[in-house]
Amino acid sequence: MTGAPGELVLAEHRGPVLVLTFNRPAKLNAWTGELEDRYFALLDAAEDDPDVRAVVVTGAGRGFCAGADLQQLQAVGEVSEADRARRRPRDVPRTLRKPLIGAINGVAAGLGMVEALCCDLRFGSPSARFTTAFAQRGLIAEYGISWLLPRLVGHSRAADLLLSSRMVDAEEAFRVGLLDHLVPTGSVVDAAVAYAADLARRCSPASMATIKSQLSNDADGTYADSVARAEGLMLQAFRGSDVVEGVASHLDKRPPDFPSLPVRSSDVPVSDVGPRQEVPGGSARVHGCAHLPRRGGVPRADARVG
Every domain of the chain and the residues it spans: 5-200, 204-291
Q: What is the C-alpha to C-alpha distance for residues 68 and 109, in angstroms, rounded to an integer? A: 9
Which pLDDT score, from 0 to 100, does residue 197 have?
97
Residues of the chain with pLDDT under 70: 1-5, 72-88, 265-306
Which pLDDT score, from 0 to 100, does residue 152 have?
94
The amino acid at residue 168 is: V
DSSP collapsed to 3 states, the chain: CCCCHHHHEEEEEECCEEEEEECCHHHCCCECHHHHHHHHHHHHHHHCCCCCCEEEEEECCCEEECCECHHHHCCHHHCCHHHHCCCCCCCHHHHCCCCEEEEECCEEECHHHHHHHCCCEEEECCCCEEECCCHHHCCCCCCCHHHHHHHHHCHHHHHHHHHHCCCECHHHHHHHCCCCEECCCCCHHHHHHHHHHHHHHHCCHHHHHHHHHHHHHCCCCCHHHHHHHHHHHHHHHHHCCHHHHHHHHHHHCCCCCCCCCCCHHHCCCHHHCCCCEECCCCCEEECCEEECCCCCCCCCCCCCCC
Neighbours of 85 (CB within 10 A): 7
14 forms beta bridges with 17
Half-sphere exposure for 17 (CA within 13 Å, toward CB): 30
Which pLDDT score, from 0 to 100, does residue 80 have?
57
Whether the model pTM is above 0.85: no
Half-sphere exposure for 28 (CA within 13 Å, toward CB): 20
The amino acid at residue 261 is: L
Q: Are 177 and 85 in contact (CB under 8 A)?
A: no
Which pLDDT score, from 0 to 100, does residue 240 have?
85
Q: Are 206 and 238 in contact (CB under 8 A)?
A: no
6-48 residue pLDDT tens = 799 999 999 999 999 999 999 999 999 999 999 999 999 999 9
Q: Are 104 and 128 in contact (CB under 8 A)?
A: yes
Q: Are 113 and 67 in contact (CB under 8 A)?
A: yes
CATH class of 5-200: alpha beta
The CATH H-level superfamily of 204-291 is Lyase 2-enoyl-coa Hydratase, Chain  A, domain 2 (1.10.12.10)
